[in-house]
């Protein structure tokens, strides 16, 4: 009856652990199973991670299929964050989310795709399997996009001119996805500064692969304006 979802606690988690422990025994692998609730890399979702405690399998090397990652000095400096560490798909996904993906966003590759890591054992196939694996990260960089335009919808309190002044990327520039994310945050802060603390920004990209350009239509939900009420401070002595 397992459908890929589990509760945070309860007997189902024990059932899954027992099934995985039986799988280890069937394959003559010594070890025990433990589970931990973790935040999913690059998402607000949570995942229940089951992992084996026992045999140590480490990452011996990390390679990329795309030249941008291969030639990145920053990724070369961060290799030790993952190489030499215990093999874990979750750890690799976290590395992609925190280290690899930003490299592509900063270079305008807003639709770069990262496939599942490909681990393989190294060494003589006639000998017992080694304790290390070589991991390859398949990457489809896609085009590097230039900014076509940014239009604003739903903004009544702040007109387009002050919002455009917050943009650090101009039409025709290569889109730095990380810098653009900071722009959306600055827009939200500008609304919050005026009392619209519930304002939300929804940038909707429209890609044109013909000329490698992207236009952003930003939907703004300003929400109500809040004014200062009572300030109550507790926990202080008289």
**How many Å apart are CA 57 and CA 61, to the nearest integer?**
12
- Residue 225 is predicted with a pLDDT of 96
Average per-residue pLDDT in the chain?
91
Banded model confidence at residue 27, pLDDT cuts 50, 70, 90: confident
Phi-psi sector, 193: left (phi>0), alpha (psi -120 to 50), beta: alpha
- C-alpha distances (whole Å) from 219 to each of 125, 164, 226 are 57, 14, 21
- Residue 54 is predicted with a pLDDT of 78
Quickly list DSSP for 215-235.
Answer: EEEEEEE--PPP--------S
SS3 91: helix
Query: What is the mean predicted confidence (pLDDT) over 198-204?
Result: 95
- Residue 1 is predicted with a pLDDT of 62
For residues 184-216, b (16+ Cβ closer than 10 Å) or e, as one string? Answer: beebbebbeeeebeebebebebeeeeeebbbbb
Query: What is the mean predicted confidence (pLDDT) over 45-66?
Result: 88
Give the rounded percent of residues in the chain with a pLDDT score beyond 70. 97
* Of 115, 122, 106, the residue nearest 66 (C-alpha): 115
DSSP letter at 10 equals S
Banded model confidence at residue 197, pLDDT cuts 50, 70, 90: very high
Are 97 and 38 in contact by the 8 Å Cβ rule? The answer is: no
Residue 123 has pLDDT above 90, yes or no: no
Regarding pTM above 0.85, the answer is no
- Residue 159 is predicted with a pLDDT of 93
Read off the pLDDT of residues 91-121 as tens digits, 9 standing for 90 and up: 999 999 999 999 999 999 999 999 999 999 8
**How many Å apart are CA 107 and CA 208, to the nearest integer?**
17
- Residue 126 is predicted with a pLDDT of 72
- Residue 184 is predicted with a pLDDT of 96
Read off the pLDDT of residues 202-229 as tens digits, 9 standing for 90 and up: 999 999 989 999 999 999 999 999 999 9
Identify the residue with better confidence: 158 or 45. Answer: 158
Give the rounded percent of residues in the chain with a pLDDT score beyond 90. 73
- Residue 129 is predicted with a pLDDT of 67
> Rounded to 10 degrees, what is the CA torsion of 68, 73, 74, 78?
110
Out of 22-31, 74-83, 113-122, least confident range: 22-31
- Residue 69 is predicted with a pLDDT of 96
């Amino acid at each position: 009856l397992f459908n890929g979802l589990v509760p945070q606690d309860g007997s189902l988690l024990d059932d899954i652990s027992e099934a995985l422990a039986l799988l280890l025994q069937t394959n003559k692998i010594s070890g025990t199973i433990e589970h931990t609730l973790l935040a999913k890399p690059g998402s607000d979702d949570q995942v229940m991670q089951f992992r084996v405690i026992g045999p140590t399998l480490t990452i011996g090397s990390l390679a990329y299929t795309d030249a941008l990652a291969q030639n990145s000095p920053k990724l070369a400096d961060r290799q030790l964050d993952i190489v030499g560490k215990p093999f874990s798909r979750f750890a690799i996904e976290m590395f992609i989310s925190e280290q690899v993906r930003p490299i592509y966003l900063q270079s305008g590759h807003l639709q770069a795709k990262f496939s599942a890591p490909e681990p393989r054992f190294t060494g003589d196939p006639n000998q017992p399997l080694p304790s290390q694996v070589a991991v390859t990260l398949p990457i489809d960089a896609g085009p590097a996009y230039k900014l076509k335009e940014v239009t604003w919808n739903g903004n009544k309190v702040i007109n387009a001119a002050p919002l455009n002044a917050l943009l650090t990327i101009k039409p025709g520039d290569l889109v730095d996805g990380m810098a653009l994310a900071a722009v959306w945050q600055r827009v939200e802060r500008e609304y919050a500064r005026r009392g619209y603390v519930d304002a939300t920004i929804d940038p909707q990209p429209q890609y044109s692969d013909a000329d490698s350009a992207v236009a952003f239509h930003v939907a703004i939900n300003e929400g109500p304006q809040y004014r200062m009420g009572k300030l109550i401070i507790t926990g202080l002595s008289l």
